[in-house]
Amino acid sequence: MANTTGSSAINHAELQELVKNYTCSDVALLLPVISEFTWAVEVRAFLYLLGLLWCFLAVAIIADVFMCSIERITSKTTIVRVPDANAEGGIRELEVKVWNDTVANLSLLALGTSAPEILLSCIEIIGNGFKAGELGPGTIVGSAAFNLLVISAICIVAIPEGEIRRIRSFKVFGVTAFTCIFAYVWLAIVLMAISPNVVDLWEAIVTFLMFPTLIIVAYIADKDFCMKKSKREEPGFVGISLERYTKKATGDASEDKDTEERQPGPSSDENVRGDAELLTLAKELGHIEELPEEEAAKIAAKKIAENTSHNRGWYRINATRFFSGGKKLVPRVLTSFQDLYERIQLPEDERADHAKSITKNIDHSDGGRRPVIEFTAAAVAVMENEGKVRIGIRRHGKLDVPVTVRVETINGTALAGEDYKPFDEKVKFAANEILRQIYIEIVDDCEWEPDEFFFVKMAAEPDVDVAFGNIAICQVTIINDDEPGLLEFAKPSIVVKESSRLASIPVSRRNGADGHVSVTWKTKDITALNNKDYEGGEGTLKFDNQETSKTIDLPIFESNKPERDESFQIELLETDGGATLGKITKCIITIVNDEEFNGLVSRIVSLTKANLDSLQLEKSTYVTQFKDAMNVNGGDIENATFIDYILHFCTFFWKILFAFVPPTQYLGGWPTFIISLAVIGFLTAIIGDLATIFGCLIGLEKTITAITLVALGTSMPDTFASKTAATMEKYADSSVGNVNGSNSVNVFLGLGLPWVIASIYWTAKGDVFKVEAGSLGFSVVLYTVAAIIAISLFITRRFLGAFGKGELGGPNITKWISGAIMISLWVLYVVFSSLQAKKIINVQF
């Protein structure tokens, strides 16, 4: 009995030990929080992978908040006073940025994009009892390889054909490219040369101090200290500015003769030009019929947001919101207005030409999706003795379906039954039939009468999808003789609203319409000037047989004058074909403002500015934070996609939770910065545990997990951000120019800071801080070789004509070859690093 009890006690103790120490239960810092002893390994692996991906989304969302705080901090400005003889009082006030762009990019912005990797390395060392781990350093090197090779490859091939993007601050790029390579060379020297497998305190301190050294040297290069001075610029702004409206690069390298010269920031003159461009754009959109004001404002805001220069942080935040179904930083345009948006993306002169054609010929077919029916002429004439009049009806737009339209007559001075036979019939067009004709009988009486007229109009049949063109009513004039007629203006004066863009001056043909006649015309300036206020000159107006009315169309140019009252004269000169001039041979056209249209333009401008203001990252409150968190696409449900709904559902918990973080408007954004950084640290610890346990369950070494799964998960927002920046920006700095700086910061902060902490700890205990080179050293060497090749390729692309003389884009063949080289280098890096970690190969240094 005693033996049985002892055996049961042993079995129970063994069982308790098994429950506590099951597969991969002791490899992480915080997880698992409950016993998973009874769970199948496959189920645990799936759940940990799912949790890892979910936490990647969480880190991306809180990193969005973190980046917003950084934008708030770095966008701080101050007022300085400078002497200016032209300014009132001899002093001009300038609002200048406090943070230098380069310093901001290499410090806070680099910290924002690399915070998960840096904190993962710090937390791993502290959690391991100040002993070196594999996950943190492996993630840093793996992320660096992915950023430099894969993201750069995507950016190279993403540029539209025929365009290039060059790095603007090439001196700063040179500094960061050198430190990007030197940082990992130094890492290899520390781990494998100076004191193999040991990091001394002085080595850790030197590694950490390279971070401020990098910032100082880059700042010197940016300001051209100790170098040839470039033209001094006026201080500009930093952060996200939607006040500077710039145009995209055309891909012409000639416009960038010296990309090392610094360009001025957005001065007040540039802001004025930006406001003028917005006003011009609003006027153009206001002319488009059936375009709601709200959609016009979204189109304008989208164009401005996409054509404004942004920094890397802006693109990172926009990419993160794509992954979370959140409020986008670029407004979406409804698909029904996408063609219109693509048109306004054209250069301004091409847009103006296109607008003229739109004014003269409006597309009623909804892009070819509806059949359009109209008369071939707005007015025709017929001799009374001819007995009938022929009226042409044409069709365009959608042609592959049959269409029926009703045509009927309406009395004018001519009466149905007395002067013509009434007509009310259906006119049918077969599929692909584009022209039909109808005949209306004319009553020939024996009495003399002046010219009379009646109308023929179209009407839609029930349940028939058809649109009417510009000429839906035709005027028929019955003429009592066969004279060619006389030509004169219909009115001696015409008032034209500026918003119409076109002055249509009617010319009438009276007392006959037989044969082909013409008349020459010429404009004369009064207070309106030719080619400034209108497009005049001289020309010939031709009338076909039986045509009784034509118009002379002259384009009107818009002005920004608050009150406009300008006029010019047009005169009929010589006739041909037997016609003579009538009494009204001169017509005065007066151009005036359109108050209703100006009000519409003003509302579009105001709505556009409101849309842009809502996109400002540093302007948020608790109300807006919770509103954006609880609504898909930040409340813009109309433009939300199916993917937005899915991602919003997956991230809803994190959005609500992180909405409690203080808004960036408090205390300059610093509370947001500190709290979000702490949350990122906690989530990073969870991600480290999830990745470690997942790798353990599927048999992956920590090094392989770090350089693949974790590195890709933390770098995915940067991938989409860089790709968007490459296509939207004029220069390549925001897409690939800052990658080197970020990779350097990863080493100097991500390894330097935890190394300093651990080295101090072990030195105080009289011991040394051991860091086994092993797979990490081999991975560092592989990355260094790949980085040298990649940066050499960038330099070659910049100066070699075969690549288009740009770091990104260029001819299709060479840009795809460059992308393939970059991707191949990354694949080789992952394969050889994994083989070394698996001990399939064993390379010793």
* pLDDT tens-place string over residues 373-391: 999 888 888 877 788 899 9
Pairing of strands 538-543, 580-581: unpaired
Is the pLDDT reported for residue 556 higher than 50?
yes
pLDDT(540) > 90: yes
Calpha distance 737→715 (Å, rounded): 16
Q: What are the angstrom distances between the C-alpha of 436 and each of 371, 404, 430? A: 14, 11, 10
**Between residues 607 and 46, the one the model is more confident about:** 46
Residue 739: partners with Cβ closer than 8 Å, 6 or more residues away: 147, 148, 151, 152, 180, 722
Average pLDDT over residues 800-808: 89
Which amino acid does the sequence have at 185?
V
pLDDT at 733 over 60: yes
pLDDT at 826: 95
Over range 21-42, report the average pLDDT.
Answer: 84
Q: Is 522 a residue whose pLDDT tops 90?
A: yes
Calculated CA dihedral for residues 109, 114, 116, 117, nearest 10 degrees: -160
Interval 464-495: pLDDT, tens: 888 888 888 898 988 765 678 889 998 888 88
pLDDT at 149 over 90: yes
Average of per-residue pLDDT values in the chain: 81
Answer for the pair 238, 617: CB distance below 8 angstroms, yes or no.
Answer: no
Per-residue pLDDT band for 716 (boundaries 50, 70, 90) equals: confident
> Which tokens is 630 given?
């609880």
β pairing state of 473-479 and 452-460: antiparallel
CA-to-CA distance for 727 and 747, rounded, in angstroms? 29
Task: Give residue for tokens 């009107």.
Answer: 556
Section 61-85 average pLDDT:
82
pLDDT digits (tens, 9 = 90+) for 75-94: 888 888 878 777 777 788 77
* pLDDT in the model for residue 335: 61
Give the total residue count for the chain. 845
DSSP secondary structure of 492-530: SEEEEEGGG-EEEEEEEEES---S-EEEEEEEEESSS-B
What pLDDT does 254 receive?
41
- Cβ atoms of 750 and 114 within 8 Å: the answer is yes
The token pair at 677 is 């950084």
Residue 235 pLDDT exceeds 80: no
Q: Is the model more confident about 332 or about 356?
A: 332
Percentage above 90 pLDDT, the chain? 24
Q: What is the 3-state secondary structure (H, E, C) of 770-801?
A: ECCCHHHHHHHHHHHHHHHHHHHHHHHHHHCH
- The span from the CA of 198 to the CA of 508, in Å, is 99
Which among 625, 386, 629, 405 is positioned nearest to 514, based on CA atoms?
386
Residue 386 neighbours by CB distance under 10 Å? 14
Residue 785 and residue 826: Cα distance in Å, rounded?
11
Flag whether pLDDT at 272 surpasses 60.
no
Q: How confident is the model at residue 456 (pLDDT cuts 50, 70, 90)?
A: very high
d(CA 563, CA 213): 60
* Predicted local distance difference test score (pLDDT) of residue 267: 46
Q: How much is the pLDDT for 18?
A: 57
What confidence score (pLDDT) does residue 14 get? Answer: 63
Q: Which residue has the higher pLDDT, 553 or 448?
A: 553
Query: Taking a C-beta distance cutoff of 8 angstroms, is the pair 60, 320 a contact?
Result: yes
User: What's the DSSP call for residue 838?
Assistant: T
- Greater confidence (27 vs 291) lies with 27
Identify the pLDDT of residue 82: 79
pLDDT in tens, 631-690: 888 777 777 888 888 988 999 999 999 999 999 888 888 899 899 989 988 998 899 889
CB 100 within 8 A of CB 742: no
Name which of 39-53, 73-87, 601-615 the model is least confident about.
Answer: 601-615
pLDDT band per the 50, 70, 90 thresholds, residue 339: low
Q: Is the pLDDT of residue 345 over 90?
A: no
- Pull the structure tokens for residue 597: 């249209």
Report residue 761's pLDDT band, with 50, 70 and 90 as the boundaries.
very high
> What gap in Å lies between CA 302 and CA 480, rounded to an integer?
60
Contact at 8 Å (CB) between 91 and 210? no
Which pLDDT score, from 0 to 100, does residue 690 have?
A: 92
Neighbours of 793 (CB within 10 A): 19
Pick from 132-141, 395-404, 714-723: least confident: 714-723
Cα separation of 754 and 110, whole Å?
A: 17
pLDDT of residue 346: 57
Provide mean pLDDT across the span 439-453.
Answer: 77
Which of 60-74, 539-553, 759-773 ranks highest by mean pLDDT?
Answer: 759-773
Instruction: Give the gyration radius of the chain's Cα atoms.
Output: 37
For β-strands 580-581 and 486-489, DSSP reports them as: parallel
Lowest mean pLDDT among 48-62, 355-369, 414-428, 778-792: 355-369
CA 753 centroid distance within chain: 37
Query: Tokens 């003269």, residue?
Result: 360
State residue 43's pLDDT score: 93
* Distance in Å from the first CA to the final CA of the chain: 63
User: pLDDT-derived band of residue 255, with 50, 70 and 90 as boundaries?
Assistant: very low
Say what the pLDDT of residue 408 is.
92
pLDDT at 519 over 90: yes
Extract the tokens encoding 658. 């992180």
| Helix, strand or coil, per DSSP, at residue 552 | strand
Instruction: For 219, list phi and psi in degrees, rounded to 5.
Output: -65, -40
Mean pLDDT of 424-443: 90
pLDDT at residue 253, rounded to an integer: 41
Lowest mean pLDDT among 252-266, 392-406, 562-576, 805-819: 252-266
> pLDDT tier at 572 (50, 70, 90 boundaries)?
very high
